[in-house]
Amino acid sequence: MCESCGCGQPEAGKNMSVHEHEHEHIHNHDKKVDLGFDLLEENRKLAAKNRELFRKKKIVTVNILGSPGAGKTSLLSKTLDELKDNFRIGIITGDLTGDEDMKRLARKKVVVHQIQTGRVCHLDAHMIAHALEHFSLDELDILFIENVGNLVCPAAFDLGETKRVVVLSIAEGADKPSKYPEIFSGADAVLLSTIDFAPYTDFDFSRAETDIHRIRFTVELMRVSSRTGDGIKSWCDWLARLTK
């Protein structure tokens, strides 16, 4: 995965505070598949350790994925308004650079840790393990992980999360599930966001929802608007049930 998306380039790690492994870059084409397999296998082992830690600490961990501009940060901001009085919440945000999302969410008076990935287009289990050092895990009920905006690479990297959620803005078009099926195939829930813009788009809800259920029949599918609050209660009720 890293070989194909550019994450393996030497420049990728220069701005990263937590992902400092050096990877061997073999240019023999016969070796590339093995390298990718080894990378994902190591990530799976680290993810399993994260998952066990979350289980022991009774922390519900929600990995939120979606394109840049899908509305992930707005959704989290609105979610905090609804849940922070009843649950102890922490957030890990991932971006190539910048800390705008972290600052925005920190205004909600919760602990937020930023991972800057440089040119790496996804978070991985190793990054999450180090980010956890910035939290008092015994004081958390829910940990949100806002992944790097990308519909491709994050799908391949288990972080040890309890649930995986994909946010799809209707502004992106109803064809995204059929174009990027892998990210939807691993989702426990899909949120169609920014539905308040529906009158100004030709978004085909029927097509999108049919494709999503075709890819993953058991997925929880919700329509939400962080601006108007539509659907937010159903989303927060779903999260609350995870903690029981």
What is the pLDDT, as a whole number, of residue 36? 58
Rounded Cα distance, 125 and 197, in Å: 35
List pLDDT tens digits, range 136-152: 999 999 999 999 999 99
**pTM for the whole structure:** 0.87
DSSP one-letter code for 175: T
CA distance 220 to 223: 10
* Joined tokens for residue 29: 């084409």
In eight-state DSSP terms, residue 37 is: H
pLDDT in tens, 110-125: 999 999 999 999 999 9
Contact status, residue 5 vs residue 121, Cβ threshold 8 Å: yes
What is the rounded CA–CA span in Å between residue 58 and residue 243? 8
Ranges of each domain in the chain:
2-242
CA–chain centroid gap for 202, Å, is 27
Strands across the sheet containing 111-116: 111-116, 89-95, 142-146, 60-66, 163-169, 189-193, 220-223
Is residue 200 predicted with pLDDT exceeding 70?
Answer: yes
- CATH class for domain 2-242? alpha beta
pLDDT(20) > 90: no
Tokens of 192: 């169609």
- Tell whether the model's pLDDT for residue 12 goes beyond 70: no
Ramachandran angles phi, psi of 75, nearest 5°: -60, -45
pLDDT of residue 25: 42
Q: 35 pLDDT band (50/70/90 cuts)?
A: low
CB distance 158 to 131 below 8 Å: no
Residue 6 pLDDT > 90: no
Stated length of the chain: 244
